[in-house]
Amino acid sequence: MLDRELKKGSTELMILSLLEHEPRHGYELSKLITSMSHGVMRLHVASLYPLLYRIEKRGWIEGRWVEKAGQRRRRYYRLTPAGKKVLATQRRSWRDFVEAINRITGIQHA
Amino acid sequence: MPDPFRWRDEIARRIAPLGLSPAREAEIADELAQHLEDRLVELRSTGLSADDARRAVLAELADDETLAAAIAVGESAAVEVPPPGDDRRGSAWTTLRRDIRYGVRTLRKNPAFSTVAVLTLALGIGANAVIFSAVNTVLLKPLPYRESDRIATFWLSAPQMGLPEVSLPDALFAYYHEHTRTFESLAAYTGAGFTLTQAGEPERLLGANVTIDFFRVFGVKPLHGRTFLPQEETPGNNLVAILSYGLWQRRFRGDTSVIGRALSLNEIATTVVGIMPPGFEFPKGIELWIPLGLNRQSVNSWYLTPIGRLRPGATVESARREAIALDDEFVGRHPEWFPHRDSTRTQAGAMLLRDRLVGDVRRPLLVLFGAVAAVLLIACANIANLLLARASARGREMALRCCLGASPRRIAAQLITESLLLALTGALVGLALAVWGMGALRRFAADQIPLLGQSRIDGRVLAFTIAIALLAGVLFGLAPAVRGARVRLQDALKEGGRGGASAASRRLNNAFVVAQFSLSLVLLVGAGLLLRSFQRLLAVDPGFRAENVVAARLSLPGRRYPSDTLVRGFYERLLPQLRVLPGVRAVGLAQRLPFTGGNPQNTFVVEGREPRSGEPQTVANVRQVTPGYFAAIGTPVLRGRVFAETDVVGAPPVAVVDETLARRYWPNADPIGKRIKRGGAPNAEWMTVVGVVPNVKHRSLTETPDLWLYEPFGQVTNWGNYLVVRAGGDPANLISAIRSEVAAIDPTIPLFDVQTMEQLIDRSLATRRLTNALLAGFALTALLLAAIGIYGVMSVSVGSRIREFGVRLALGAQGRDVVRLVVGEGMLLVAIGTILGLVGALSLKHVLSGLLFGVGVLDPVTLAVVPLILAAAAVTACYLPARRATRADPMAALRAE
């Protein structure tokens, strides 16, 4: 149970982070997650888009169809002000969480 | 390189069950499809083959419900579930629209199922539309006359004389016309033939002699010119004619200057005074009307058919009673005309014109209507079964919808919407079939079914079609909808993997199969009984041999053939000429032939058996025939001889009677040498019976034997006659030779109504033939549908029990044991259906009364053969799924268990 919640929360956090500085489209997000995690994390269509739609509905991100010269029309997502706040909160709690885990696992390994 | 795989459609298909708005759905499909295409290119660039890459992408897409369910969670606001009791119109409308959209998509997703269902329905609904359009035109729609439900006819009858219907003589009609209180206007008519000789070949026209009020009765006004004037009623002033629109167009190219012109009709100059509007054609096939020239003093010929417009409020019953009362009054005033009438009270009948016209076809039409409705019911049961099977297969879809908050009622409404969509599509295709079917029916049956020629797809047929489509949709959609709505999440997910049918749904399937087979049995028994009747009918001996005989009519104009001697002179020249034509075996002449309609009858008196005063007189069919007639038509001589060339005026009067008459009057004596004379005329001569011939059927093969009296043409001469020519081979080859022989003697005399005797008999059977063909067709369709039905049900049953069969086979059962098990289960259903059907078939006794001939409802042959046919069809239909059961893999079954 914890695992699933954890993964869900972490995926949200990843997407919000990747959108922090520039708008991106879904395929780009999926590529970035795979490459930046060195293949450890993969997010396929069936999980990625439902998640995007869900957080879009919550008002954290905003999608827009954009046509760029020489490219096909794509839907770009960008962070909304509300999303920025959520990102900050989630980052904080993630850091706390990771530190807590590290502390525990560090003791165990010590 | 773009991938040929249609990713966008694939996504759209998978998210279709969510019922999103089209715009949102398109957006999602676009976005995801783009992603998948990019991913595919990426995988290809790593060296994967196109197929492997596509498989990998599909795998990433996960299975249908996962994607849909995940998106549904994200889109939760879009999947609206109306709160219970929500009845705002807008919302209901939105829901309906969404249901329809979703229904269309679902049906498109299963093209095979949808096509089969739509075609089955189209056949059922189309056939119903065709038969209903006939019922509508023939039985329901008013006749094309003003207030046609007030137009009625009546007739007298004298059952004690063997006369079910008697027409009126001039004087009696005139009395009715003067004294009637039930009819607002009253007219009389009689059919008449006219030879139009006007530049070119003489043409024979079908006309009617009518009294002056004829057109007033129908409330019809002439298109051009006028109708008849009162003074044109009297003989001598009646040389005027009104033309039908058809004749006017055909013969005179619609030229109005024909009015006022004189035409030569039967060589009498007759002035055209009017033209009737298109569509007015009464009696059927009539092309011109001539005033009758009523002879108010004549009671000699009983030939007039009365027709009248009832006063508002008057009924046919009051018309019938008035007919009797006025007849009694008339007879009382003229005792000199009716010496025998004191105790033979006349009876009468009256009917609305529509009922009179429709007469014999009402019952066959209603039987066909019932049959076609049964076919539709059977088709509905098939579709209900298909839908039930699909409802099981769609368990997970329903579970998902349930999960998302759809109420059972919403799911049921969705399923019913799908059924109605199917039904309406079926109706649309069915209507197209109906247009074609009605054209075919009109072509084949317009001659036999009165009014049918006017049948069209009108508002009423459309409304009926839509109504039965909706009814059918609800009928076959209800059970699956109730079942679908009852789906429970846990059950669906548990059972979903197997796609099995629940016990309840199987029971329902079985009930449908039983109902289908019992209905099919009733239809097949009905069709079987009619076919057996027909077989019996064809075996009836008509009293003559129809093969190789051609008949044609001639009528000599009274103007140029004013005496019997001249008429006889014409035929005495013609007949020998015909006899020597190559291929001719025999030639004869008769005033009327069997199966040509009309039936001249006369009272007769047998010497020593004269009726006492007050005793009813007896009537026989009377024919004047030439010596060659019996050989030509193929009626053998039972005793004595037929007429000879020496039986002419001046020689002793002779007669030939039929066996029925002979048996009735001289049961124990030799009829030859006995004497008989015509009744009525006091100075009629006694004729000596010289021969006895078999009874001849005149109107139909089913009639009870009449009494027959034949007189020699040489002694009693007629102007209008039928030629009968027997050929050695095909008589059709002789027709042109006969024509030229007639023309060689008198070129102004047309030969008309040329037909073979076989065609004439055939025509008398045409309505039966048509009813039989249609009913047999409907019954076979029913059988086919029932067989498809049991096939479907057994297939689903085998499919859901395939592991059971595997286990049985693993435990040592043989293939044939499994076949026996499956076929046995199917046959149990058929047996129940057959028993119920046989009970139902007993009701055919009333339904088919009057249509059967020589067989009863309990005809053992029909009742034995029909269940065998049903069983054979059912065994075949069950065998295919049974074979599949034997191929169940025992190992797979054991692994699964």
Domains annotated on chain A, with CATH: 2-109 (1.10.10.10)
Give the residue numbers spanning the domain of B10. Answer: 1-79
pLDDT of res. B107: 81
A79: left (phi over 0), alpha (psi -120 to 50) or beta: beta
Tokens of B836: 């119920």
**What are the chain B neighbours of A30 within 8 Å (beta carbons)?**
35, 39
Q: Is residue B525 part of a domain?
A: yes
CA distances, B504 to each of B77, B386, B487, B491, B494 (Å) = 36, 15, 12, 14, 17
- Looking at residue B603, its amino acid is T
- Residues B219 and B259 placed together within one structural domain of the fold: yes
- Looking at residue B17, its amino acid is P
Tens digit of each residue's pLDDT (9 = 90 or more) over B128-139:
999 999 888 888
| Length of chain B (residues) | 897
Low-confidence ranges of chain A (pLDDT < 70): 1-8, 107-110
| Centroid of chain to Cα B133 | 11
| CA angle B349–B354–B357, rounded 5-degree value | 80
Count of structural domains within chain B: 4
- Residues B526 and B611 placed together within one structural domain of the fold: no
CB contact (8 A) between residue A51 and residue B74: yes
- Residues B825 and B723 placed together within one structural domain of the fold: no
Q: Which of B49, B79, B109 is the last residue of a domain?
A: B79
B875: left (phi over 0), alpha (psi -120 to 50) or beta: alpha
- On whether any CB of chain A is under 8 Å from the CB of B32, the answer is yes
Q: Provide the percentage of residues in chain B whose pLDDT is more than 90.
A: 32
pLDDT of res. B204: 86
Residue B207's nearest CA partner among B134, B265, B148 is B265
pLDDT of res. B50: 86
The C-alpha atoms of residue A32 and residue A42 are separated, in whole angstroms, by: 9
CB contact (8 A) between residue A50 and residue B31: no
Q: With H, G, I as helix, E, B as strand and everything else as coil, classify residue B367.
A: helix
CB contact (8 A) between residue A46 and residue B74: no
Which H/E stretch holds residue B513? helix B503-538
> Full-prediction pTM beyond 0.80?
no
Q: Provide the percentage of residues in chain B whose pLDDT is more than 70.
A: 91
Q: Which of B54, B79, B104 is the last residue of a domain?
A: B79
The C-alpha atoms of residue B299 and residue B301 are separated, in whole angstroms, by: 6
- Residues B671 and B816 placed together within one structural domain of the fold: no
Which H/E stretch holds residue B602? strand B601-606
Q: Is residue B340 part of a domain?
A: yes
Residue B56's nearest CA partner among A2, A92, A42 is A42
Who has greater pLDDT, B15 or B220? B220
Instruction: Determine how many CB atoms are found less than 10 A away from the CB of residue B858.
Output: 12
Tokens of B259: 């009015």
How high does pLDDT run on average in chain B? 85
Name B6's Cβ contacts closer than 8 Å, sequence gap at least 6. Answer: none
Q: What is the DSSP letter of B390?
A: H
- Residues B711 and B765 placed together within one structural domain of the fold: no
Tokens of B695: 């009874």
The C-alpha atoms of residue B578 and residue B880 are separated, in whole angstroms, by: 66
Tokens of A9: 């929360």
Alpha helices, DSSP H only, in B801-859?
Answer: 802-810, 815-841, 844-847
CB pairs under 8 A between A and B: 53
Q: Is residue B92 part of a domain?
A: no
CB contact (8 A) between residue B61 and residue A47: no
Q: Is residue B315 part of a domain?
A: yes
Residue A46's nearest CA partner among B656, B10, B294, B848 is B10
Tens digit of each residue's pLDDT (9 = 90 or more) over B79-125:
433 333 344 445 677 778 878 888 888 788 778 788 888 988 898 99
Contact between residue B701 and residue B540 where contact means Cβ atoms under 8 Å apart: yes
CB contact (8 A) between residue A44 and residue B66: no
- Looking at residue B81, its amino acid is V
User: Which residues sit opposite B166 in a β-bridge?
Assistant: B156
- Residues B767 and B894 placed together within one structural domain of the fold: yes
The C-alpha atoms of residue A55 and residue B852 are separated, in whole angstroms, by: 78
Pick from B34, B61, B77: CB nearest A74: B34
- Residue B838 pLDDT greater than 50, yes or no: yes
Tens digit of each residue's pLDDT (9 = 90 or more) over B688-714:
999 999 999 988 888 888 889 999 999
CB contact (8 A) between residue A46 and residue B34: no
Q: Is residue B424 part of a domain?
A: no
pLDDT of res. B83: 37
- Residues B263 and B330 placed together within one structural domain of the fold: yes
Question: Closest Cα of chain A to B78: distance in Å?
Answer: 11
Who has greater pLDDT, B453 or B550? B550
Highest mean pLDDT: which of B1-10, B416-425, B441-450?
B416-425
Highest mean pLDDT: which of A34-43, B353-362, B560-569?
B560-569
The C-alpha atoms of residue B224 and residue B87 are separated, in whole angstroms, by: 62
Who has greater pLDDT, B75 or B330? B330
Nearest chain A residue to B33 by CA distance is A45
CB contact (8 A) between residue B38 and residue A74: no
- Residue B241 pLDDT greater than 80, yes or no: yes
Question: Closest Cα of chain A to B499: distance in Å?
Answer: 25
Q: Is residue B275 part of a domain?
A: yes
- Residues B187 and B268 placed together within one structural domain of the fold: yes
Tokens of B371: 């049959």
Q: Is residue B840 part of a domain?
A: yes
Q: What is the DSSP letter of B453?
A: G
Tokens of A1: 């149970």
The four Cα atoms B829, B832, B835, B841 give a dihedral, to 10 degrees, of -60
Which pLDDT band, with edges at 50, 70 and 90, does B491 fall under?
low
Contact between residue B155 and residue B166 where contact means Cβ atoms under 8 Å apart: yes
pLDDT of res. B175: 93
Tens digit of each residue's pLDDT (9 = 90 or more) over B503-514:
777 788 888 889
Contact between residue B540 and residue B697 where contact means Cβ atoms under 8 Å apart: yes
pLDDT of res. B488: 58
Q: Could you write out the DSSP letters of every residue in A1-17?
A: -HHHHHHHHHHHHHHHH
**What are the chain B neighbours of A53 within 8 Å (beta carbons)?**
28, 71, 74-75
ipTM: 0.88
- Residues B564 and B531 placed together within one structural domain of the fold: no
- Residues B774 and B894 placed together within one structural domain of the fold: yes
Q: What is the mean pLDDT of residues B54-64?
A: 79
Who has greater pLDDT, B218 or B2? B218
Q: Is residue B571 part of a domain?
A: yes
CA distances, B412 to each of B419, B487, B489 (Å) = 11, 10, 15
Q: Burial, A1: exposed, middle or buried (Cβ in 10 Å; 0-12, 13-18, 19+)?
A: exposed
Residue B383's nearest CA partner among B852, B785, B49 is B785
- Residues B855 and B817 placed together within one structural domain of the fold: yes
Alpha helices, DSSP H only, in B685-814?
Answer: 735-745, 757-800, 802-810
Q: Which of B339, B359, B379 is the last residue of a domain?
A: B359
- Looking at residue B398, its amino acid is M
CB contact (8 A) between residue B31 and residue A47: no
The C-alpha atoms of residue B602 and residue B663 are separated, in whole angstroms, by: 19
| Centroid of chain to Cα B863 | 25
Which pLDDT band, with edges at 50, 70 and 90, does B537 fall under?
confident
φ, ψ (nearest 5 deg) of residue B326: -65, -35
- Residues B838 and B883 placed together within one structural domain of the fold: yes
Question: Closest Cα of chain B to A74: distance in Å?
Answer: 7
Q: What is the mean pLDDT of residues B436-451?
A: 83
Q: With H, G, I as helix, E, B as strand and everything else as coil, classify residue B498.
A: coil
CB contact (8 A) between residue A46 and residue B60: yes
| Length of chain A (residues) | 110
Question: Closest Cα of chain B to A96: distance in Å?
Answer: 28
Pick from A44, A54, A72: CB nearest B74: A54
User: What's the helix, strand, coil split of chain A in %, to 5?
Assistant: 65, 15, 25
| Centroid of chain to Cα B850 | 16
CB contact (8 A) between residue B32 and residue A45: yes
